[in-house]
Amino acid sequence: MDCIQYMKHLFGPVFSRRLGLSQGIDLLPPKTCNFNCIYCEINQAPQLSCKRGEHVPTEVILAEIDELLANEERVLDLDVFTITASGEPTLHTGIGRIIRHIKGKTDKPVAILTNGSQLYLKEVREDLSQADIVIPSLDAARPESFRKVNRPAKCSADLEVIIEGIARFSHEFSGEVWLEILFVENINDTPEDIAALKIAIERIRPTRVQLNTVARPPYESFAKPLTRKRMEEVKEEIEKGYAGHVDILAGSKEADEADNGKGRNGSIEKISVERAEDEIIEMVLRRPCTTADIAGTLNLEIERATEILKNMESRGDLSIKIHGGKKYFRASKGQKKENG
Ligand code: SF4
């Protein structure tokens, strides 16, 4: 099967509302995943897999990390290293080694974004045990809604096993667990869904619960966001009888504003057009971005970012998607490097 690989596995840093200035580390070729979520921001069909493996040589990723760590000025500004993937990062068997490598060379925290589906495996729990923050997703606690929103591969574990795995990890882990729930209108936001999620949250006892909704162009156009009002109602419902923190990540005005125009510090606006274009391609391959996202991340003036994006668009390097009244840039097919 053909697969697509990025030229680089480190991307950003990007500003994240919850983590601050975050250096992204992407472990997998897109889209190596055991789920096919309807809201996924990666605009391509998944290569469904549940098999853990060294999908990208660990040494290649460690070499990129070492190259970054050698640049003290760039590392100084960072708030966190975030291990993620254009897919499910715990499918990479080198993840534990990569976490230990970063922790051995810097005192910056390491965060992991995961769909939580592999935490029932002892080796995965051990791999993630050295991280500081683990952010597993749990979008549904009813099998029917789980199938609709996450569309797990046939080889994926049952929902009950997944919830038990997340709970077990949460109880064993000495760092923080932030449980993320992404709601899609009329798919996983019924009163029955909220009630089942509340029971799962009680079992998991995460440090925080973070509520999200569809913010960027989703893989399936029928995946619609909850309104801000509905997000507030869901938050109120989840907070009833629950003593932990519940935050809303998207679907509020504050969240949308926090997303715009923040990024790397320093005088990066002096970067060449070629380097800016390379970085833009790496960003939009991973998720659709607005002009403000790109200007903020690369610390470019909006006018300069607009000009560069216009040129890339006219050359056919980027495609446009209008979503929620905003213009998003995505990589055109020609920008993806085919690799057997
Ligand atoms: S959202 Fe994450 S878990 Fe879902 S299909 Fe995309 S990469 Fe996989």
Greater pLDDT, 322 or 299: 322
Give yes or no: residues 242 and 276 share one domain.
no
274 and 154 in a common domain: no
The residue out of 192, 226, 252 marking a domain boundary is 252
**Of 206, 222, 252, at which residue does a domain stop?**
252
Structurally, how many domains does the chain consist of?
2
135 C-alpha to ligand 1 centroid (Å): 13
Angle (CA) 217-220-221 rounded to 5° is 65
According to the model, what pLDDT value does residue 334 have?
54
The pLDDT of 10-33, averaged and rounded, is 90
**Ligand 1 geometric centre to CA of 326 (Å):** 22
Whether residues 72 and 221 share a domain: the answer is yes
Q: How close is the Cα of 86 to the center of ligand 1, in Å?
A: 8
Query: Could you identify the atom of ligand 1 that is nearest to the CA of residue 36?
Result: 5
Answer whether residue 257 is part of any domain: no
- Which residues, 6 or more positions from 258, have their beta carbon under 8 angstroms from its beta carbon? 17
Spatial separation of the C-alpha atoms in residues 41 and 315, rounded to whole Å: 23
Has residue 196 been placed in a domain? yes
Is the domain of 214 the same as that of 335? no
The answer on 317 and 200 residing in a single domain is: no
pLDDT of the residue at 5: 46
What is the whole-number distance in angstroms between the Cα of residue 256 and the centre of ligand 1? Answer: 22
pTM to 2 decimal places = 0.89
Q: Going by CA atoms, what residue is nearest to atom 7 of ligand 1?
A: 87
Alpha helices in 240-328 (DSSP H): 253-259, 273-286, 291-298, 302-314
Most distant pair of Cα atoms in the chain: their distance: 55
Query: Which value, in Å, is the radius of gyration of the alpha carbons in the chain?
Result: 19
Among the candidates 221, 252, 283, a domain finishes at 252
Q: Which residue puts its alpha carbon closest to atom 4 of ligand 1?
A: 37
Least confident of 29-33, 132-136, 299-303, 332-336: 332-336
Residue 261 maps to a domain: no
Predicted pLDDT of residue 218: 95
Residue 63 belongs to what H/E stretch? helix 58-69
- pLDDT(146) > 90: yes
Is the CB–ligand 1 distance for residue 87 below 6 Å? yes
Same-domain pairing of 243 and 116 = yes
Give me the pLDDT at residue 7, please.
61
Residue 210 and residue 323 in one domain: no
Q: How far apart are CA 256 and CA 322, in angstroms?
A: 16
8 Å CB contact between 252 and 231? yes
| Mutate which of 26, 27, 34, 37 for ligand 1 pocket (most atoms within 8 A of beta carbon) | 37
Which residues form the domain of 311? 268-339
| Helical H segments across 129-251, by residue range | 143-150, 159-172, 191-204, 228-239
SS3 312: helix
pLDDT in tens, 201-255: 999 999 999 999 999 999 999 999 999 999 999 999 999 978 889 999 975 444 5
Structural tokens at position 333 = 């097919």
Let me know: does 238 contact 209? Beta carbons within 8 Å. yes
**Model pLDDT, residue 15:** 82
Does residue 169 share a domain with residue 74? yes
219 C-alpha to center of ligand 1: Å?
10
Q: Are residues 279 and 248 in the same domain?
A: no
Same-domain pairing of 299 and 203: no
**Domain assignment present for 262:** no
List residues bridging with 22 in a β-sheet.
Answer: 14, 80
Estimate to the nearest angstrom the gap between the alpha carbon of 287 and the chain centroid.
9
- What number does the ligand 1 atom closest to the CA of 117 have? 3
